A and B are shown apart, each in its own frame.
Chain A
Amino acid sequence: MAASDTPFIANDIPYMERTRKFYRAQGYESDYVWAHFPTTPFIQPSKPLQESRVVAITTSMPDTELGRSNRTVYSNPIKPQPQSMYTEELSWDKKATHTNDIASFLPLEQLEALATEGFIGSVSPRFHCLPTEFSQKNTLEKDAPEILTRCQEDKVDLAILVPL
């Protein structure tokens, strides 16, 4: 099967266009540059889902004094699950919704339930927080490799990244 054809349709929101206009309205002369790569890495899983350990990665930060002030990679145990995450600086739709239910953007509860029913093998004992960055260099050369190392330490097979 080739990559699925799930096209952008008229009802989907043109976020890039809106963001460009929003920055210009704030007096920025240069448009935001989103990450773009000519090729996308892809490998098939080495194990079936039922035997795989899954990790969750979020762009929200821990809802702690440190998490609110220092944007860097954090790893936290999945138990006990956090009751809140710090999302205030992120670009979510603050008019239409809220982030008070962390399962709506950080799927720890769902992964735990799916491990219990045997749909996946297990959940990584830690989840990871990846800071959003203007600097793609920081993400590519510092943060992403650090999270990869931590996933390998936890013997993770599959990763779900949920960006906000």
Chain B
Amino acid sequence: MVVGSAMDIVKHCGVARYCYSDFPLGNPCGKPGNKVMQLAIIKQALGLFESAEAPNYTERTAHSWSEDDSWREGYAKIDDSNREELRLRGEARRAEQAANKAAGCSRSAMIAES
């Protein structure tokens, strides 16, 4: 059972049961501080163990993040304000990866997209 946002990625992978939260990445179990919502989402998710009869069974939670949808635009945004910063970040990151590899690290951290 997966509880998560980013439906396109979870569906691309394929999971047995999926409870989808249409929230900003980071809080798939409910908004910070909202204990009622957090409990309801996990209760719904556990219910999928009883309702799913085939893999990739998915339910969308009924909760919304906010009435204002502007949060949808911010993740991994690229515009003139950060284009050069991103190019430099990539160069620094590749140098770090090369150093880690030379030092014998077999695992490198993911790149945060925000």
Which residues of the other chain, A, contact B35 by a CB distance below 8 angstroms? 103, 109
The answer on a CB contact under 8 Å between B107 and A133 is yes
Give B40 Cβ to nearest chain A Cβ, in Å.
9
Give A15 Cβ to nearest chain B Cβ, in Å.
4
The answer on a CB contact under 8 Å between A15 and B43 is no
Give B71 Cβ to nearest chain A Cβ, in Å.
4
Most buried by B among A89, A110, A164: A110
Interface residues of A in 19-35 (CB under 8 A from B): 19, 21-23, 25-28, 34-35
How many contacts A-B (CB < 8 Å)? 233
Asked if B67 is at the interface (CB within 8 A of a chain A CB), the reply is: no
Most buried by A among B33, B93, B113: B113
The answer on a CB contact under 8 Å between B26 and A119 is no
The answer on a CB contact under 8 Å between A40 and B14 is yes
Assuming the A-B contacts A27-B94, A103-B30, are A96 and B71 also in contact, with contact meaning beta carbons closer than 8 angstroms in the complex?
Answer: yes
The answer on a CB contact under 8 Å between A1 and B54 is yes
Classify chain A: how many residues form its interface, as a range: 35 or more
The answer on a CB contact under 8 Å between A87 and B8 is no
Assuming the A-B contacts A87-B26, A104-B30, are A13 and B75 also in contact, with contact meaning beta carbons closer than 8 angstroms in the complex?
Answer: yes
A127 to B111 CA separation, bound complex (whole angstroms): 25
Interface residues of B in 46-77 (CB under 8 A from A): 46, 49-60, 65, 69, 71-72, 74-76
Most buried by A among B6, B16, B108: B6
A8 to B91 CA separation, bound complex (whole angstroms): 34
14 A-B pairs with C-beta separation under 8 A: A6-B20, A25-B83, A27-B91, A35-B12, A43-B16, A45-B49, A54-B46, A93-B26, A98-B26, A103-B30, A104-B27, A104-B29, A159-B1, A164-B25
Interface set of A (CB-CB < 8 Å, partner B): 1-4, 6, 8, 11-16, 18-19, 21-23, 25-28, 34-37, 39-45, 48-49, 52, 54, 71-72, 87-101, 103-107, 109-111, 113-114, 119-120, 131-135, 138, 158-164
Sample of 17 further A-B pairs with CB below 8 A, known A71-B109, A164-B28: A8-B8, A15-B8, A22-B76, A25-B86, A26-B89, A40-B15, A48-B50, A72-B107, A95-B74, A104-B30, A105-B26, A105-B28, A106-B29, A109-B38, A158-B1, A160-B2, A163-B10
